[in-house]
Amino acid sequence: MIAKFSLKSAQWVVALLCTLLIINGIKAQVGVGIKPAKGAKVYFNGSRKSLDKNWTYWNGPRLAASLPIKWAIVNDPVDNGTAMNSNDPAAAGGKYGSADVVTKQAFRDFRLHVEFFISEKGGNSGVYLQNRYEIQVLDGDSTSHGMAAVINESKSPYYAYNGVGKWNAYDITFRAARFTDGKLSEKALVTVYFNGKKVHVNQRIQQVWGGPNSGIDGGNDGGKGITDIPGGLKLQAEGHNVLYRNIWIKALDLKEANTDF
């Protein structure tokens, strides 16, 4: 005997399966204030100790700062706790690359969570994956150079921005470029959630933008000369009061060219 399977029954089964997936942690955990994923390492927890232990200045061609890091630890303007302020004196006037900080540990593939707070209109910074590829942090700009864009390569999902005076979060899975016999065979790939909304899915990154002062390989063939060198997570100092907190990274090994999560 073949049982009848109604549309209502099918909908119930789908709902049950979705619930089970969420319970088992398969649904992406993203957004402001989330706790580190299992196996992740916290690179900034609000303390001076974690900043000095895990970060250093990026030694690029425009470096003008010296250790110890001059990014101030400040009171969180919204919640209890503390954050770091990217307004390093050496970067006054927007001199990116003069006082950017980068993790001492370098990465290939990884899952990243980072939260930022822009204090004033026009606040500017940037989150650099592998110290190469910028996910923009820029209030007021909704162009392909603007907020949460894979800079110059995607549209800005400005609709997901919480705005000035509020915390925002990037949740990112990144797959590094691949090389065969020393030659670039697969470009870097990234999926980004912005404040819990999926805004870029398996976006291929074509190059490094901004020249040699922007990051690794920025000065190679106009930014197109990507090399097979791992890089740290870099945060940009551009002379603005942009704060950061709750930064954690989980190293991955993504065999397939897929970063969706």
| Domain boundary assignment for the chain | 32-252
What's the whole-number mean pLDDT along residues 67-79? 98
Q: Pick the more confident residue, 212 or 13.
A: 212
Q: Which pLDDT value is given to residue 23?
A: 35
Tokens standing for residue 207:
């190059």
What's the whole-number mean pLDDT along residues 55-70? 98
pLDDT band at 245 (very low <50, low <70, confident <90, very high): very high
pLDDT at 11 > cutoff 70: no
What's the whole-number mean pLDDT along residues 18-41? 73
Q: Pick the more confident residue, 25 or 261.
A: 261
| Separation CA 38–CA 42 (nearest Å) | 11
- Determine how many CB atoms are found less than 10 A away from the CB of residue 13: 11
| Separation CA 178–CA 187 (nearest Å) | 7
What's the whole-number mean pLDDT along residues 35-45? 97
C-alpha triplet 251, 252, 257: angle, nearest 5°: 145
Judged by DSSP in three states, 232 sits in coil
pLDDT at 188 > cutoff 90: yes
Q: Which pLDDT value is given to residue 28?
A: 78
Q: Which residue from 227, 57, 42, 205 is spatially nearest to 134, judged by alpha carbons?
A: 205
As a whole number of angstroms, the longest Cα–Cα distance in the chain is 80
Q: Which pLDDT value is given to residue 180?
A: 97
C-alpha triplet 84, 90, 95: angle, nearest 5°: 100
Sheet arrangement for strand 101-103: 55-57, 101-103, 234-235, 124-129, 133-138
Across 94-124, b (16+ Cβ under 10 Å) vs e yields: ebbbbbbbbbeeebbbbbbbbbbbbbeeebb
Q: Which residue from 47, 87, 60, 90 is spatially nearest to 71, judged by alpha carbons?
A: 87
What's the whole-number mean pLDDT along residues 93-120? 98
pLDDT band at 6 (very low <50, low <70, confident <90, very high): very low
**To the nearest whole percent, how much of the chain has pLDDT over 90?**
89
Judged by DSSP in three states, 228 sits in coil
Average pLDDT, the chain: 92
Query: What is the third-level CATH fold of 32-252?
Result: Jelly Rolls (2.60.120)
Q: Which residue from 217, 187, 218, 189 is spatially nearest to 202, judged by alpha carbons?
A: 189
Alpha helices in the chain (DSSP H): 7-23, 48-54
**To the nearest whole percent, how much of the chain has pLDDT over 70?**
90
pLDDT tens digits, 193-237: 999 999 999 999 999 999 999 999 999 999 999 999 999 999 999
pLDDT tens digits, 140-172: 999 999 999 999 999 999 999 999 999 999 999
Judged by DSSP in three states, 245 sits in strand
Judged by DSSP in three states, 5 sits in coil
pLDDT at 189 > cutoff 60: yes
pLDDT band at 27 (very low <50, low <70, confident <90, very high): low
Q: Which pLDDT value is given to residue 17?
A: 40
pLDDT tens digits, 110-135: 999 999 999 999 999 999 999 999 99
